[in-house]
Structure 1
Amino acid sequence: MKRVSVDIGGTFTDCFVVWGDQYIETKALTTHHNLAMGFNEALGKACSELDVDLEQVLTEVDSVRYATTLGTNALIEHKGPKIGMLVTAGYEATVPLSRARGYGEGLDNLGQQDLPNAQRPDPLVEAHMIRGVRERLDFQGKEVMALDEPDLRRQLRELVDRGAQIIVVALVNAVVNPVHEQRIEEILLEEYPSHLLGAIPVILSHQVAGRKGEYVRSTSAIVDGYLHSTMYHALSQLEQNLRAHTYEKPMLVIHNSGGMAQLNSTDALQTIHSGPVSGIGASEHLSLQAELGNVVATDMGGTSYDIGIVVEGGIKHYDFNPVIDRWLVSVPMVHLVTLGAGGGSVASYDRMYKTVKCGPESAGSDPGPACYDRGGMKATVTDADLLLGYLDAENYAGGSIPLNPRRARAVIEDTICDELDCDVIEAAKLIREKVDDSMANGLFTELRARGYDPKDFTMLAYGGNGPLHCCGIAQNLSIDKILAPPLSSVFSAVGAGNMHQLHIHEQSLYMVLYDSNTRELFSDYDRFNGIVAELKERGRQDLRRQGVPDDQILFDLELDMRYGNQLVQTTAVIPFHELHSPADVLQVITQFSNDYGKRFGEGSQAPEAGIRINTIRVSSYVRHETVKFEDIKPVDKAARQTPPSPSSTRSCHFVGQDGAIDTPVWARKDLVPGVEIEGPAIVASEVTTYLVNPGWTFVTAKQGASWFLRNETPAIRH
């Protein structure tokens, strides 16, 4: 296998190259003005290690895959085109009103409890750019009022005259029957043909989101339209860069659904959070292959801290109505929580609480932390880590970014020390303690909210800063086992390399499997089978368009079901995909009952209220060869080896410990599997730093994996 996969983050561009049996991990600073420059630098470093030129690598690899946070950043920075929107007449206020409670989407718990004072998000589409079209379909998709085409043409011209750069169409019940949305697209192309300079893109809501819910479907289409041009031009720029270096195959883009597709089969909305989702995908593979049981995936990079859960068996959690920035959308997305805590998180004085706060603002890659010596004027977590002795100023990032401790000291003194009247080391400890506590609180909240005990999980610590901060986070949660997985500094890029081509299609409907009033079972098998067949065909066409043969395409069927009019839906995975008899219907009901009982407790099922299907969802995918993780479990105590002599000793300061501690330093490449090191200690590699806190033991495993295990009796060397 020969493959290139890249995770373009807010601070670093991570590159993972598989070249036969060689795995190469490299990093470069993200070049936001031209993403291709950072990609070329990172891939160039990998080529140097392989002693192969870049053109040869791109000629011989089977694929190049991108995961990126570009869409997320564009949405946060509010950089997008002027949107014109067409809705069913009478529904012009749906998006501006935001269901009222929508003002709280994306806020923390405190903000959601005080909605009258919540700050409304800046609209992505202005109210005067929304136009009502005279048309109407009922809930079954039957035409109640025909589309008034002369009125439509007049509304389109008004939007264009007002400066609309993209048209979003979201009509009532379009997911049941899209005929009116499709006709609007035809008329738009008649009025403004694609061959005209400045032709206007059109986004149809039923193609972006397949479930009912006018508001969330509308916001999904708006966000997709808002990011359309940004993602199109940026990703096209990356693809053109590949073409310039002799790569002729289609570029693959990671989706937040946990799959990937070619650029021509990717919506902008699907790229949101694709980088962190790749890390969760890699965690799933690792959990299954190494039989780790429950794992919580934590990715600490330069800008953010991403949390995902994979329970035993490699099962991921999905959000079917995730909140992106401040907008509720209707797309299936692997569930994750993102905190504004990373190595580049800005530390400042909190005047209200008279202490230190960290994030969510980040110094990014340009100018970066003050110690990068590139003009950064704000104190960051990386500056604190450097002053506490954890980082090697001469060999940070393999020596490509020399650090300046004097700059770090100066900004922390100016920002923190003067306000708190403390020395610079104490201020750095406060920064370190604050950021670790924030990440631990976020992790604890996420696990507890889903009914899990942190003690039952192994914590995966990856990303450039994950192994540096993991002990401080875990000891606040009573987690005893931490695994820094193989290739931990580019683990999300590894996940991008392991993704399968996948498309998810779904349709909202009202389908009663058991009617509690008549006590009858569902019998319209042709209707059910027809919908499933149509969704399969849409997925098949997606994959055919990307050159996948029919015999390689696989399908999974999921049903969102509920008892009666309950608000809570439960997703049941159905192993068979057609209904032909009452026995088949009863089997679906039994599967739903079992899943419901596992989630809410056995005996909580309520079939007497009736059973209905709200959404039918089909995943169409093709499997690809993946990176194999060897046996990476910690070596038995009796078989562990003593480490070689440390390469150096460094004076380090730890939270909760008075004074400096002479801390031995080892190079990760010098440690064979089975070596045990008691903390405090530092293990350094070219791409990350493993910090072993007092009270923890570091154990090396195969394939570059490393374990942090909590000791019962801490051993501290002064």
Structure 2
Amino acid sequence: MRRVSVDIGGTFTDCFVVWDGEYIEAKALTTHHNLALGFNEALGKACNVLDLQLEQILSQVDSVRYATTLGTNALIEHKGPKIGMLVTAGFEATVPLSRARGYGEGLDNLGQQDMPNAQRPDPLVLPHMICGVRERVDFQGKLVMPLDEDDVRTQIRLLVDRGAEIIVVALVNAVVSPTHEQRIEEILLEEYPSHLLGAIPVILSHQVAGRKGEYVRATSAIVDGYLHSTMYHALSALEQNLRAHRYEKPMLVIHNSGGMAQLNSTDALQTIHSGPVSGIGASEHLAMQAGLGNVVATDMGGTSYDIGIVVDGGIKHYDFNPVIDRWLVSVPMVHLVTLGAGGGSIASYDRMYNTVKCGPESAGSDPGPACYDRGGMRPTVTDADLVLGYLDPKNYAGGSIPLNPRRAKAAIEDTLCDDLDCSVIEAALLVREKVDDNMANGLFTELRARGYNPKDFTMLAYGGNGPLHCCGIAQNLAIDKILAPPLSSVFSAVGAGNMHQLHIHEQSLYMVLYDSNTRHLFDDYDRFNSIVTELKELGTQDLLRQGASREDICHNLELDMRYGNQLVQTTAVIPNHEVHGPGDVLALISQFSNDYGKRFGEGSQAPEAGIRINTIRVAAFVRHETVQFEDIKPLPPEQRKAPPPPGSSRKCYFVGHQGSLDTPVWNRADIKPGVQISGPAVVASEVTTFLVNPGWNFVAARQGASWFLRA
């Protein structure tokens, strides 16, 4: 297997290369003005390890895969085109009103409790850029009013005159009858053919989101349209860079659904959070191979701290209506929680509580933390880690980024020390304690909200800063097992390399399996089977178009079901994809009942209210060869070995300990499997730093995996 996978983050571009059984990890600073430069630098470092040229690798690999946060950053920074929107006449206010709850989407719990003072998000499409067209179909897809094509042409010209750079079409009930949306696209291409310089893209809502819910479907299409140009130009530039270096195969892009597809089969909305989702995919893969049981995946990079849960040997949690930035959308996305806490998170003085505040603002890669000596003036978490002695200023990132301790101390002193009336070391300890507490609180909330006890989980700590902060986070949660997985600094890039090609298609409907009023059991088997067959064929055609063989394509069927008119939906995974009689219908009901009982408690089922299906969803996928992990469980205590003599030592400061502690420093390459090191200790590698707090043991495992166990 020869493969290149890349995770482009807000601060670093991580690269993972598989070359005939050899695994190489490399990092470079993300070059936001041209992502290809950072990619070339990171891949160039891997080329040096293999003693090969860039062109030699790219001309011989079977695939190049990208996961990126580019779309996330563009949305947060509001860098997008001017959008024009066509809706059914009379529904022009649907998006601006945002169900009257748009104030609260994307806010934390405290912000949602103070809704009168909540700040509304800046709209992605301005009210005067929303125009109604005369047409209407009902909830069953039956024609109520035909499309007035002359009116459509008038409204399109009006939007273009007002400066629309992209047109989003979101008509009522378009998911059950998309004919009018499709005709509007045809009219727009007639008015502005693709060969004209002024041609503009058009986004149809039913192609972006296949479920009912006019507002969330509209916002999904708006977000997709808002990111379309940014993602198209940036990813196209990356693809052109590959072509210039003799890579001739299609570029693959990771999706937030947990799969991947070629660039020409990728919507911009599907790339949101694709980097962290790749890390969760790698965590699932590792947990299943190593038999780790319940794991909580934590990815601490330079900009953010991402949390994902994998339970029972590989069950992921999905969000079917996730909130992206401040917008509720309708796409299936692997569930994750993102906190503004990374190595580049800026520390500031919190006047209200007379303490330190960390994040969510980040210094990013340009200028970066003050210690990078690139012009950054404000202190960050990385500056605090350097001042506290955890980082080697001459050997950070393999020596590629020399650190300036004087800059770090000056930034902390100028920003924090006077207001807090403390020394530089005391301020750095406060920064360290605050950021670890923030991450621990986020982790605790996520686990407890889903009914889990943190003690029952193994914490996976990866990302460039994960092994540096994991002990401080875990000891706040009473977690006693931490695993820094193999290739931990580029673990999300490893996950991108393990993804399978996958497309998800879904259809909203009103299908009653059991009518409690008439006690009638569903018997329209042909309708159910035809919908499933159609969704399977859509996914199959997506994969065939990308070169997959029909015999390699697999399908999973999921149904969103509910009792009566309950608001809560439960997703049931159905092994039998066809129904041909009452027995098959009862099997669907039984599967739903079992899943509902596991989620809400046995006995909470309410079939007397009726049972209905709201969404049918089919995932079509093709499995690919994956990276294999060896047995990485730690040896029992009696079989562990003493460490070799440390290479050096330095004074480090730890939260909860007075004064400095003499801390031995080892090189990770010198630590063989089975070796145990008691904290305090620092184990350094070219790509990350493992900090062993007092009261913890560091135990080396196979394949570069590292365990942190409470002493």
TM-score, normalization by structure 2 = 1.00
For 1:423 and 1:126, the matched residues in 2 are separated by 50
Cα deviation, 1:45-103, whole Å, max 9, x if unaligned, reads 00000001110100110000000000000000000000000000000000000111121
TM superposition shift of 1:199: 0.4
Cα deviation, 1:361-406, whole Å, max 9, x if unaligned, reads 0000000000000100000000000010000000000000000000
1:619 maps to: 619
Give the SS at the match of 1:283. Answer: helix
Cα deviation, 1:309-353, whole Å, max 9, x if unaligned, reads 000120000000000000000000000000000000000101111
Matches within 5 A, 1:108-127: 108-127=108-127
Q: Which has the higher mean CA deviation after the structures are superposed, 417-426 or 31-40?
A: 417-426
1:327 maps to: 327
Percent of residue pairs bearing the same amino acid type: 85
For 1:654 and 1:114, the matched residues in 2 are separated by 37
1:516 maps to: 516
Give, as a single letter, the amino acid of the residue that structure 2 aligns with 1:448. Answer: R
2:487 maps to: 487
For 1:640 and 1:117, the matched residues in 2 are separated by 58
2:667 maps to: 667
Runs of 4 or more, structure 1, over 4 Å off, are none
TM superposition shift of 1:466: 0.1
1:13 maps to: 13
Give the SS at the match of 1:292. Answer: coil
Matches within 5 A, 1:152-163: 152-163=152-163
Matches within 5 A, 1:649-660: 649-660=649-660
1:99 maps to: 99
1:184 maps to: 184
TM superposition shift of 1:304: 0.2
For 2:380 and 2:218, the matched residues in 1 are separated by 39
TM superposition shift of 1:113: 1.2
For 1:405 and 1:116, the matched residues in 2 are separated by 45
Give, as a single letter, the amino acid of the residue that structure 2 aligns with 1:317. Answer: H
TM superposition shift of 1:117: 1.3
TM superposition shift of 1:442: 0.3
Alignment pair present for 1:4 and 2:4: yes
For 1:52 and 1:315, the matched residues in 2 are separated by 39
For 1:172 and 1:421, the matched residues in 2 are separated by 60
TM superposition shift of 1:597: 0.6
For 1:603 and 1:448, the matched residues in 2 are separated by 22
1:537 maps to: 537
Matches within 5 A, 1:169-248: 169-248=169-248
TM superposition shift of 1:198: 2.2
For 1:625 and 1:283, the matched residues in 2 are separated by 17
Matches within 5 A, 1:56-71: 56-71=56-71
Q: How many residues align?
A: 711
TM superposition shift of 1:431: 0.3
Give, as a single letter, the amino acid of the residue that structure 2 aligns with 1:316. Answer: K
For 2:439 and 2:122, the matched residues in 1 are separated by 28
2:592 maps to: 592
Matches within 5 A, 1:443-522: 443-522=443-522
Give the SS at the match of 1:183. Answer: helix
2:251 maps to: 251
Give the SS at the match of 2:225. Answer: helix
Cα deviation, 1:221-257, whole Å, max 9, x if unaligned, reads 0000000000000000000000000000000000000
Give, as a single letter, the amino acid of the residue that structure 2 aligns with 1:359. Answer: G
For 1:364 and 1:114, the matched residues in 2 are separated by 31
1:142 maps to: 142
For 2:516 and 2:610, the matched residues in 1 are separated by 5
For 1:114 and 1:95, the matched residues in 2 are separated by 22
Give, as a single letter, the amino acid of the residue that structure 2 aligns with 1:219. Answer: T
1:75 maps to: 75
Give, as a single letter, the amino acid of the residue that structure 2 aligns with 1:701. Answer: A
For 1:471 and 1:297, the matched residues in 2 are separated by 14
For 1:19 and 1:639, the matched residues in 2 are separated by 33
Give the SS at the match of 1:577. Answer: coil
For 2:149 and 2:295, the matched residues in 1 are separated by 55
Give the SS at the match of 1:3. Answer: strand
1:361 maps to: 361
TM superposition shift of 1:673: 0.4
2:633 maps to: 633
1:371 maps to: 371
TM superposition shift of 1:453: 0.4
TM superposition shift of 1:443: 0.4
Cα deviation, 1:85-137, whole Å, max 9, x if unaligned, reads 00000000000001111210001111111212110000000000000010000
1:692 maps to: 692
1:714 maps to: none
Give, as a single letter, the amino acid of the residue that structure 1 aligns with 2:80. Answer: G
TM superposition shift of 1:421: 1.0
For 2:40 and 2:310, the matched residues in 1 are separated by 33
Alignment pair present for 1:572 and 2:569: no
Give, as a single letter, the amino acid of the residue that structure 1 aligns with 2:100. Answer: A
For 2:97 and 2:489, the matched residues in 1 are separated by 43
Give the SS at the match of 2:562. Answer: strand
2:304 maps to: 304
For 1:659 and 1:116, the matched residues in 2 are separated by 47
Cα deviation, 1:279-318, whole Å, max 9, x if unaligned, reads 0000000010001000000000000000000001200000
Give, as a single letter, the amino acid of the residue that structure 1 aligns with 2:341. Answer: A
2:431 maps to: 431
TM-score, normalization by structure 1 = 0.99
For 1:506 and 1:115, the matched residues in 2 are separated by 33
Give the SS at the match of 1:310. Answer: strand
For 1:438 and 1:602, the matched residues in 2 are separated by 35
For 2:591 and 2:388, the matched residues in 1 are separated by 55
Alignment pair present for 1:397 and 2:428: no
For 2:197 and 2:660, the matched residues in 1 are separated by 66
Give the SS at the match of 1:313. Answer: coil
Report the aligned-residue RMSD: 0.4
Cα deviation, 1:473-494, whole Å, max 9, x if unaligned, reads 0000000000000000000000
1:44 maps to: 44
For 2:594 and 2:449, the matched residues in 1 are separated by 22
For 1:267 and 1:110, the matched residues in 2 are separated by 33
For 1:112 and 1:350, the matched residues in 2 are separated by 21
1:383 maps to: 383
TM superposition shift of 1:635: 0.7
TM superposition shift of 1:708: 0.2
Give the SS at the match of 2:558. Answer: strand
Cα deviation, 1:139-187, whole Å, max 9, x if unaligned, reads 0001100000011100010000000000000000000010000000000
TM superposition shift of 1:21: 1.2
TM superposition shift of 1:537: 0.7
Give the SS at the match of 1:666. Answer: strand
Give, as a single letter, the amino acid of the residue that structure 1 aligns with 2:272. Answer: I
Give, as a single letter, the amino acid of the residue that structure 2 aligns with 1:488. Answer: S
TM superposition shift of 1:433: 0.2
Cα deviation, 1:440-473, whole Å, max 9, x if unaligned, reads 0000000000000000000000000000000000
Give the SS at the match of 1:60. Answer: coil
1:716 maps to: none
2:528 maps to: 528
Cα deviation, 1:510-564, whole Å, max 9, x if unaligned, reads 0000010111110000000010011001101100110001000000000000011
Give, as a single letter, the amino acid of the residue that structure 2 aligns with 1:79. Answer: K
